[in-house]
Structure 1
Amino acid sequence: MNNPTFNLSRVNRVLLPMLASSLLFGCNQSTSNPDNTTQGPVTPQQLVKVYYQATTAQRSGDSSPYSKASLYVWNNEQCAAYAGNNPDANDWAKGLLPTGIDDELGAYWELPYHANESTQCINFIPRIDGQKPLGDYDAKVDLTQLGAGNAVYTQQGVAAVYPELIPRNALPANTARLYLNTQDGDESFFTLHVWNEGECQNYAASNSAWPGIAPSGYSKTYGPYWDLPINGRDNCINVIPNNKTNGDYQTANLKLDFTKTGAIGPIGFVFKGTDKIYYQPLAKRPQNQVELSGASAIFADASTLLVGNLEASSATLYYSRQSQLRFDSASKTVLNADHTITSQRPSGTEWQAQKPHLTSAFRGFEFDFQAAGLDLKTLLQGQLLLVASDATGVLLATEVQPARALDALYADSAVTLEYGALVNPDGSTTFRLWAPTAQAVSLIPYGADKQAKTPIAMGFDPQSGSWSAVNTALAHGDYYRYQVTVYHPATDQIETYQVTDPYSHSLAINSLYSQVVDLNHADLKPEGWDTLAAPHPQTERADFILYEAHVRDFSAHDTTVTSAHRGKFAAFSEQESQLVQHLKQLARSGVTHLHLLPVFDIATINEDPEQVVNLEQPFSRLCDLKPALKNDSDLAAYCTGNDTLQSVFTTLKARDSKEQPLVQRLNGFLRDVDSFNWGYDPFHYTVPEGSYATQPDGVTRIKEFREMVQAVKQEIGMNVVMDVVYNHTNEAGVSDKSVLDRIVPWYYQRLNEWSGQVENSTCCSNTAPENRMFAKLIDDSIRTWVKEYKIDAFRWDLMGHHPLAQIEQTLATAKQINPDVYFYGEGWNFGEVANDRQFKQATQPNLAGTGIGSFSDRLRDAVRGGGPFDGEASLRANQGWGNGIYVQKNDLSNNTRAQALHLADLTRLGMAGNLKAFTFIDQTGNTIKGSELDYNGQAAGYANDAWEIQNYVSKHDNQTLWDIQQYKIDYALPLETRVRMQAVSLATAVLGQGVPFVHMGSELLRSKSMQRDSYDSGDWYNRVDFGKTSNNWNVGLPRQDKDGSNWSIIETVIAQAGANAEPQAADIATMNDYFNELVQLRRSSSLLTLGKGSEIIKRVHFHNTGSEQIPGVIVMSIDNQGDLHDASLDAARSGLVVVLNASPTPLTEFAHFDATDYQLHAIQADLGNRSIAYNGEAASVVNQRLSVPAWSVAVFEKRHP
């Protein structure tokens, strides 16, 4: 609060003279030992105000509750800053009379203090008529924690001192409060993600949708706060304060632990820049606790420490094995150290190549631990604190980041070993865990009943930093965990806890226990597994067509699949189901790879069927799992009925609106207790996800995963791609679902160089694959998926957060098993590693020449229009090449011809493989290279070869292609044209030279009801109908946290487009046929899959280019005649011409290409009026010129003589 102006009431003005002459008597004695020494005079600036407020009931009486108020004040060894010389202060029979009385805040005393006194605190006890209104509590003024106006506050019945008063009645019953103090002046809009999980179950509302809920209020001292309904105070709630709506800040996963709350009630305080909740009211981050000084001392190797202060001339490292270090801010000394070592020797500059982001702000010091008689390996097993100084004194006190020292000390030996539960030939098992900073590790065996057995001590290897238990009696199928004793900087304590194995290959239900498993055990292999081969060779990567699917989406609601197999791995083995038949047709047409969204162990799906509820189950079951639903005015009535969730959703859909968004509100109750999540929340990297198995407890998941792979390869006819997410973990710190960071704290996670916080630019707790033992874990994990599960390719989530060197090393590791394995991923450039700040990243431009693919946002944005972060009116105004920019404007579009032609240039370049060296004539008439075409200030072309590009217009992220098109299409356009627009847009990817990447259901006009981000939106929004009766359009407004600001434009689109945007079964079937046609065309000739950049540059040309081009039309020829003829590419053809007409105007006898001897491709000619080349009339060659109908795709072929 601001410094208040106090106006005394008439009663107080009368009472003050009386108080000044009264004598107070009491029989109580302080439990403290007072020091009666008085202090000399002080200046007026050295005053602190101490307030005492009586209860409202007392204050409403006839007499003042402060008429017999006094304050007992004293100094002792612990608190000696009081500078007053009034002997009444430490006379228990008297005490100090109030300096004044404020009508609102109560009696107050102005106390002089010594500003430079080392203890920085004052002891005091408020008294009323000799009694202690705060209880038996010796209060202290912490002079480092004063509120506005140098004030502190107390209130009757609460044993606490506040920098700003939080009245007892300010917090309603059954409510907790969390404050976020942003002392750095950050005025961002903060939200709080709140949820129940694990042991924390006290939150009495639905789990918040990320990024969370808005603040309930604001305190000028403590910052924004959230009042949270709770159902008790027996455990805790999970929280993440963040500003993800408009920034990139978030804490780690924190627990508001009610067992730690004290006299002030269920209230917690977080300081921005820390990952700790305090339970006493604080105005500032405490400066006497080590972890709050950040962690800007960073090991560069085993002898070099980098210090985040360029003025430092000396650095001292302090060590405590039992975590007893405390930094005294007044004396600027470290207390309780077991050992210290000081260096004044500057380091060399060798470290700068490994830590380039630190060169401008950090200074290196060389430490000779051997000369000091110290063992760095031992030091790293305890608490470390570094103090940096110059000639004037201490400059910095900070914690220490150990990762590079651990690499230097241990990695050379450690990378040569195997880890996890290693089954020996005799059936015994050896366990090995890399935990070099642990003080002790034990193996805890568990029986099938999950009851612990006698612990087994593990031995430490000082060379590798690993702990092992050799030839134990545990065997295939037994469960276990590790018990680790380790210093953890997140709590500044020596922690002892049990943790699962990061090298787990099998798990118990919900990943509570690791399981010993022999992956070569015969029981885990379907018949024929050992000889299973991929149906498609991967030597010609340009031939790939990647089809992105999600295990649950694929089959959760398909009644042609056995009920027990829906949403499971096993659904892929049901050969007669309509969904498997659909995949078989795609495979016959030419789709080569099935890409599966995460199928490793996922932290955010409950694997216990008794703890989840899904659409086909009774609504009442949701009410049991979510009791708050029983109090919902719109939904509670269904709790006592017999309806299924699906039938209730269907009922609510009819009256869903932005004024009453019932569908998304019901989905908000459901989404954290259903079985759906995309799965980008890794828990254990090398175990199949249990919720996708018919039995999640144990090894069933392994065999059913293998059966799925076998069915996809052997029966469906596709290779298998696995989505991997090594760039982050679901949790870090000491949280229940933190694995890596609990075993080797501050090693596996990437830390901020100043605060030591785990970076979270990915979404969650970023990992550090630049550290050797995490790179080793990734190598070993990928090796397992390739060798033991026969995965053919890997899609890397946020690959740009990985070092390129690590990705290439992992690829080399995988190729030792399968020489033709393929990597591709998201080469986005952002976050703390952006622009190669910390290392050369695996980003789009850096991947050129590596053979590793990356998703191209260039073609995506050009075809769709706008960008993935558009909102509200811009979603409609920003049309794209595939939905009518300039040629078929909507009511909000004001795009110019130049903008439309620029998007056409981006589309052309994308169809040429997005090569940086590809040359063509741009919209201005200039001949340019792909690297010279602009894409939002970047070079559009960045690849060397086309297999380094994944071209797509829709994937799991962002709106589906159908949904984004409806935002942008002219309301009057009929449904038939909208279907054709979908096909034309997909053709840019399928018929281009890059590797096509297709979102499951794009061929079925898939809708998610305009949902922008459906990662946790459940089956209702994510469903796919392979029966082709519905595309899931308009099943309710999308979730508010993602699309609430778009509801108005969504309702307008739905209302204005009407039936034009509502596909029927025939429309879906037509689109499916169009897609299969496009795929068949691609497969028909290797001229469409040249792959090699030099071949594309030599053979591919565009003909409707320059400033006078026809908007909306792309004409691409691929030459195979004369000296360029190559029978290995296509012996039957001398050339192909691909024409995409994304306009309402037919292309008639196109003048800029000589089509002599060209004819419509045989596939399209045979299809006749069922072809996408037909729209009222067929595409044709007339007078040696090409003619193509509006909104059509035609491929023309020239047969080789």
Structure 2
Amino acid sequence: MKTTNSIQYEHSSLRLSERKLGVQYTNEASVFSVWSPPAVGMEVLLFEQGQEHPSVYRMIKDKDDVWSTTIEGNQAGKGYLLRVHHAGGIIHDVVDPYATAVEVNGTRGAIIDLSATHPEDWHNDQRPALEHPLDAVIYELHVRDFSIDPDSGIVNRGGYKAFTESGCRDRQGNPVGIDHLQELGVTHVHLMPIYDFSTVDESGDQRTFGSLKAYNWGYDPLNYNAPEGSYASDPTHPAVRITELKEMVASLHRQGMRVIMDVVYNHVVDAGSSAFEKLVPGYYFRLDEQGNYSNGSGTGNEMATEKPMVRKFIIDSVMHWAKEYHLDGFRFDLMGLVDTTTIRLLTEQLRQEIDPHILVYGEPWTAMDTPLTEQTLKGSQKGMGFAVFNDTLRDAIKGDTDGTGKGYATGERGVEGEIAEGMMGSIHSFTDGPEETINYTTVHDNLNLWDKVTRTMGIWDALGFPEFDHSQPLKEDWVEKAVKAADPYRLMDSWQLLDNEAVRRCLLANGIVLLSQGIPLIQAGDELLRSKFGDHNSYHSGDWVNAIRWENKARFRQVFDYYRGLISLRRSHPAFRLRSREDIERHMTLLQGSQEVVAFLLKEHAGGDDWAQIAIISNGSPSEQEVTLPQPHGEWRVVVKDGVAGTAILEQLTGHQISVPHLSMMVLYDSGLTCG
């Protein structure tokens, strides 16, 4: 689609950085404000509950091209639209882009008293303490995936309220739900999109397991400033989704976890039908050389984030979420499509006005070509206060994202140098310091870890994995049948779980992530050997593919305990969280980076650690390897070995020749005290 109007409207936009747009509500009156320089008329359409014929209120434009009107009286509970008139008799009725509450399916904005949506004791909600961003351990999850499993024991399955239920256990007594997260020890829960998105019908039954109509990842923004209704117990009442999301945040905070929101300001699904385009044609979206909407995301039209009013909208939006919902961080989808200036400015404002340790990070790439010149790519974050995903370390660990290509943990030789550089926080490649890298192996995109490992091993056929094409199994009529015919763990002997090759490779992969300098992130379910049955793009595959299977916690308890042990080790010892490039260069020495072994020494009480020396050894070889360590003051004490991890001493070794089991990590320390 083309647009002919490319007016920039700089004459008014530069004066509006501090001005509030949208609806400002009080009990006495509601003030409506919307920016639209080209409009020749503007009205508010106000809908009483249950009424389809609105009252119409005329708006007046001021010198800043802001149309506004004040409607006296308490308007809470009413819906509203904006009617914009353009030259030539063109009229559009649109949802206010600044709407902070919406009716079911986001078809109208809603006027509510946000203070009335606060849960009990919301004013006492506290962000859990975080001394430094490098103390974070991030867990990425999808709200519905986390609790929709019928065996979860959770009453409010699939929604926000599931995170308010504590005391849930599986049949063997293992904690599930929010108690599982607390037991695991993560510090941050990264929520996939929770703003109002367009592809799920909120009026349908959301609680039915397996309903494809109730499922989507949510990377198709509809209303950026209002919560998604399909995760609410009653999406027909605009306030309910707001209250329940706040309850979710408060519950996670009480359990000691901060909350990160996945945001998609880089694109909308269709610019032509967007309220932004209808209010200010030719302004909010990026155009290519032919004058067409640019599609650098591959899934929709790019927002022109470099323009002042687009930048203002994005900054206003993240500040709204941080203030109103007490959110603790933001992950930017396809951050390469968002100009670096915008990311820098919003990071600075969040740190100054909300919390000095709020997290901002994202994907430093685009999906397709873009005309944006100031792309936020890997390296552009240097010294800016935000972080980027480390795809270099990711690929070195596992290989390509969806194919049979291998990495260090999946059988590739000769990549020890890339692993070593990543474990040092990538300070000699694209970062100024370790706080700028998010280390990970997999997230929601592409094959998850178990499926990637089993693919590189060539055992998919033996596991019965179906072949998917856009969430549809090619050889079956329906997803449930294809999933039930497969068994991701068919070749596993549960009595010898930690001897299984695929298990060892998975633990090695995320062991590297959790013991590297930088900020680690794991995908929900990695600690339960989660499988998506080979579906590499499960954005609307539904629950049969995506749900967390809580029965696997008891089945793979040793795997969970390994993740928990590594997280506890990391959080207990500052040597694994060095604060700067200088600290890493001073205290971290590469002992070996060859023959499929990567071994480091953290020395001289690194980071103020109680342990004088810490050896971190990864062995990507299918055979045991001998590694030479410095002579300890007394004995090397082993805390991670052969799928067992934590801070407790597993064994004590004299001398400095260490045998490291195949496909595993080993961590040893020397307290610096002389035995005697």
Scaled by the length of structure 1, what TM-score is found? 0.51
Counterparts of residues 800-815 of structure 1 (less than 5 Å): 800-815=336-351
Following TM superposition, by how much is the alpha carbon of 1:1172 offset from its aligned partner in structure 2, in angstroms?
Answer: 5.6
- Alpha carbons 1:1172, 1:1193 under 8 Å: kept: no
Aligned counterpart, 1:1007: 531
Deviation at 1:1157, TM superposition (A): 3.3
1:787 to 314, 323, 332: 323
> What SS class does the counterpart of residue 849 from structure 1 fall into?
coil
For residue 233 of structure 2, what is the amino acid of its counterpart? Answer: T
Aligned: 1:722 with 2:327: no
| SS of residue paired to 1:699 | helix
Matched, 1:527 2:120: yes
Name the counterpart of 1:682. Answer: 221
Query: Is the Cα–Cα contact under 8 Å of residues 536 and 718 in structure 1 kept in the other structure?
Result: no
For residues 227 and 492 of structure 2, what CA distance do their matches in structure 1 show? 45
Change (3 A) 1:992 1:688: same
Q: Which of these residues, 555, 566, 590, is aligned with residue 157 of structure 2?
A: 566
Compared CA separation, residues 863 and 1172, structure 1 to 2 (3 A): same
The superposition leaves residues 862-887 of structure 1 with CA deviations (integer Å, 9 ceiling, x where unpaired) of 1111x23x5xxxx33x22210222xx
Task: Please give the alpha-carbon distance, in whole angstroms, between the structure 2 residues aligned to 1:1146 and 1:685.
Answer: 52
Residues of 1 paired with 2:361 and 2:220: CA distance?
Answer: 19
Q: Name structure 2 gaps, 5 residues minimum.
A: 463-490, 494-499
Aligned partners of 1:494 and 1:557: how far apart in 2? 52
User: Which runs of 5 or more structure 1 residues have no equivalent in the other structure?
Assistant: 1-274, 276-293, 296-398, 488-492, 616-645, 647-669, 886-899, 917-940, 1030-1064
Query: The residue matched to 2:40 in structure 1 has which SS?
Result: strand
| SS of equivalent residue, structure 1 residue 982 | helix
Partner of 2:141: 549
1:883 corresponding residue in structure 2: 410
Aligned to 1:849: 383
Q: What corresponds to 1:81 in structure 2?
A: none
Question: 2:285 maps to what in 1?
Answer: 749
Contact kept, 8 Å, 2:159 with 2:231, in 1: the verdict is yes
Residues 487-527 of structure 1, C-alpha deviations (whole Å, 9 max, x = no match): 5xxxxx64212111101111110111111122222xx1112
Distance 1:1079 1:583, change over 3 A: farther
Q: Report 1:237-256 matches (<5 A).
A: none
Determine the structure 2 residue equivalent to 1:909.
421
Are 1:484 and 2:84 matched, yes or no?
A: yes
> How far, CA to CA, are the matches of 1:754 and 1:582 in structure 2?
51
Tell me the equivalent position of 2:433: 945
CA distance 1:592–1:447, change in 2 (3 Å): same
Q: CA 1:589–1:554 in structure 2 vs 1: closer, same or farther (change >3 Å)?
A: closer
The answer to whether the 8 A contact 1:485-1:496 is kept is: yes
Q: Give me the whole-angstrom Cα distance separating, in 2, the residues matched to 1:576 and 1:974.
A: 31
Match runs of 1:1028-1039 below 5 Å: 1028=552
For the pair 1:587 / 2:182, whether they are aligned, the reply is: yes
Give the CA deviation at 1:477: 1.9
- SS of equivalent residue, structure 1 residue 470: strand
Partner of 1:518: 113
Q: Residue type matched to 2:602 in 1? A: I
Q: Deviations over 1:351-394 (max 9, x none)?
A: xxxxxxxxxxxxxxxxxxxxxxxxxxxxxxxxxxxxxxxxxxxx
Matched, 1:1171 2:649: no
Code of the aligned partner of 1:996:
P
SS of the residue 1:1028 aligns to: helix
| Matched residue, 1:76 | none
For residue 695 of structure 1, what is the aligned residue in structure 2? 234
Corresponding position: 1:763 with 2:299:
yes
Residue 470 of structure 1: aligned partner: 70
Structure-1 residue corresponding to 2:310: 774
Deviations 1:1106-1134 (A, max 9, x none): xxx32x2211111125xxx66xx21x211
Deviation at 1:717? 2.0
Partner of 2:653: 1181
Tell me, in whole angstroms, the C-alpha distance in 1 between the residues paired with 2:427 and 2:187. Answer: 23
State the secondary structure of the residue aligned to 2:454: helix
> In the TM superposition, what is the alpha-carbon distance from 1:1141 to its structure 2 partner?
1.6
Given residue 111 of structure 2, which amino acid in structure 1 is its aligned partner? V
**Aligned match for 2:614, one of 1133, 1136, 1141:** 1136
Q: Which amino acid aligns with 1:590?
A: G
User: Structure 1 residues 913, 459: closer, same or farther in 2, change over 3 A?
Assistant: same
CA contact under 8 A between 2:296 and 2:337: conserved in structure 1?
A: no
In structure 2, C-alpha distance between the alignment counterparts of 1:1021 and 1:413, rounded to whole Å? 49
Contact kept in structure 1, 2:633 and 2:672, CA below 8 Å: no
CA distance in 1, matches of 2:662, 2:558: 17
Q: Is the 8 A contact 2:77 2:111 kept in 1?
A: yes
Q: Distance in 2 between matches of 1:994 and 1:676?
A: 33
Task: Determine whether 1:707 maps to 2:247.
Answer: yes
2:508 paired residue number = 984
Residue type of the partner of 1:1022? N
Question: Is 1:415 the counterpart of 2:17 in the alignment?
Answer: yes
1:498 corresponds to which residue? 93
Question: What amino acid maps onto 2:512 in structure 1?
Answer: T
Instruction: Work out whether 1:601 is the aligned partner of 2:601.
Output: no
Please say if residues 1155 and 1181 of structure 1, whose CA atoms lie closer than 8 Å, have aligned partners that are also in contact.
no
- Whether the 8 Å contact between 2:138 and 2:521 is mirrored in structure 1 is yes
Identity fraction in percent: 29
* 3-state SS of paired residue (1:763): coil
RMSD, aligned CA: 2.4
- Could you tell me how far 1:1182 is from its partner in structure 2? 4.4
Decide which structure has the larger Cα Rg and report it.
Answer: 1
In structure 1, the partner of 2:667 is: 1195
Give the conservation status (yes or no) of the 8 Å contact 2:306–2:338.
yes
Matches within 5 A, 1:2-151: none
Given that 2:530 and 2:548 are in contact with CA atoms closer than 8 Å, whether structure 1 keeps it comes out as: yes
Return the offset for 1:559. Answer: 4.0
CA distance in 1, matches of 2:452, 2:154: 34
Q: Cα deviation per residue 1:404-436 (whole Å; 9 max; x = unaligned)?
A: 2x1x21113333321111113x53101001111
Partner Cα separation in structure 2 for residue 1114 and residue 1102 of structure 1: 8
Structure 1 stretch displaced more, 410-419 or 766-775: 410-419
Q: 1:958 aligns with which of 427, 432, 446?
A: 446
Aligned length: 630
CA distance in structure 2 between the aligned counterparts of 1:808 and 1:578, rounded to whole angstroms: 43
User: Is the contact made by 1:549 and 1:596 (CA closer than 8 Å) also made in structure 2?
Assistant: yes
Residues 1113 and 942 (structure 1), Cα distance of their counterparts in 2 relative to 1, 3 Å cut? same
Q: 1:444 aligns with which of 26, 33, 45?
A: 45
Tell me the distance in 2 between the aligned counterparts of 1:534 and 1:705.
15
Letter in 2 for 1:763: T
Rate the CA distance shift 1:1099–1:513 in 2: closer, same or farther, 3 A.
Answer: same
Query: What is the one-letter code of the residue matched to 2:186?
Result: V
